[in-house]
Amino acid sequence: MHIFVTGGSGFVGRTLCRKLIDRGHRLSCLIRTGSEPRLPESSQIKSITTDLFDSALLAPLIKDCDAVIHLVGIIREFTSRQISFKRLHLDATRSILAATQQAGVKRFLHMSANGARNHAVSAYHQTKWLAEEEVRKSDLDWTIFRPSLIYGAEDQFISMLCWLIKRLPVVPVMGNGEYCLQPVPVAQIALGFANALDSSVSLGKTYHCGGADCLSYNRLLDEVGLALRKPKVIKLSQPLALMRPLVHLLQRLPPFPMTSDQLQMLIEGNCCETEPWLSDLGLDPVPLRSGLTYLKNP
């Protein structure tokens, strides 16, 4: 197949591109100018740096493709640089959908997020839901993926936990740390996308994608500590009544590692029912300890 991929130079995109070229697919990857070196090196990949928000420019580039995979998304806004959830989630999705339809391509795979829903509290989940609605009302043969927390080498969240555990004698915890997460390996997400390309059963379906273990944030810290050969992680709970206003104040500073939106999503939890995703796409659940073995050999 010839596949058009948006966001191919990102964390998930790089892993997915490697999986697709291993299967013999040709890729046209729409990426940000300057991120070309982050793409896997392969004669099967062509990089494109045109305007994501101009469907008239995109349509001719998609015309000869067999499928479109839309991965573009952000976890944090920088509105002074026009990097907002509305623009990168909703507006970008509308543009790529229009271009796909203009090009006459029918197969469309879309990256959303677990927790996307109508009337969500966080702007991240709100805009992910609105983008899903645009996909659902199209006449394309679509599949939507809603991953939980994705982890792997070069991720953000588990890498941040590693940094804290390695450098601090006591790791701060927002609230009581009993909210639950279901981390899923990036390789598993990539495999799900790749398998869906050959699966008619996935048409018109929205899949929740998570790992084998749903565990509390406190226990996740312990599991990451074990993977780093630090068997005891000392934690200090920070009252949410104090942390919410502090995060709201400091989130304007780019180096600060959390925003109010991210705090809200963290304490909401992030677990899901994964059976349809696993069974439809021929996947096996990956236990967290197996998935974290890469931390032992950084």
- pLDDT tens for 155-182 read 999 999 999 999 999 999 999 999 999 9
pLDDT at position 19 over 80? yes
Please tell me the pTM assigned to this model. Answer: 0.94
* Burial readout 159-179 (b: 16 or more C-beta within 10 A, e: otherwise): eebbebbeeeeebebbbebeb
Q: Which pLDDT score is estimated for 283?
A: 97
Q: Where are the domains of the chain?
A: 2-150+184-210+272-283
E-assigned strand segments in the chain: 2-6, 26-30, 45-48, 67-70, 107-111, 141-147, 150-151, 171-174, 180-181, 184-185, 205-209, 215-216, 235-238
* Greater pLDDT, 255 or 226: 226
Confidence band for 296, pLDDT divided at 50, 70 and 90: confident
Q: What average pLDDT does this structure show over 228-245? A: 94
pLDDT at position 187 over 60? yes
Work out the number of other CB atoms within 10 angstroms of the CB of residue 229: 8
pLDDT at position 66 over 70? yes
What's the CATH code, domain 2-150+184-210+272-283?
Answer: 3.40.50.720
Nearest to 211 by CA among 278, 131, 130: 278
Q: What average pLDDT does this structure show over 201-223? A: 97
- Structure tokens that stand for 127 in this block: 């805009």
Determine the Cα–Cα distance for residues 19 and 24; give it in Å rounded to an integer: 9
Calculate the alpha carbon distances from 99 to 38, 89, 220, 285 in Å. Answer: 25, 16, 41, 35
> DSSP letter at 41?
P
Q: Which pLDDT score is estimated for 68?
A: 98
- To the nearest 10 degrees (0 to 180), the angle between helices 186-196 and 11-22 is 50
Determine the Cα–Cα distance for residues 207 and 203; give it in Å rounded to an integer: 11
Single-letter amino acid, residue 145: F
Report the percentage of the chain scoring pLDDT > 90: 91
- pLDDT tens for 239-292 read 999 999 999 999 888 788 899 999 999 999 999 999 999 999 999 999 999 999
* DSSP string for 123-174: HHHHHHHHHHHHHHTSSSEEEEEEE-SEESTT-SHHHHHHHHHHH-SSEEEE
Q: What average pLDDT does this structure show over 119-132? A: 96
pLDDT at position 80 over 80? no
Nearest to 53 by CA among 37, 74, 32: 32
Burial classification of residue 252, based on how many CB atoms lie within 10 Å of its CB (0-12 exposed, 13-18 middle, 19 or more buried):
exposed
Nearest to 32 by CA among 49, 20, 14: 49
Q: Which pLDDT score is estimated for 297?
A: 65
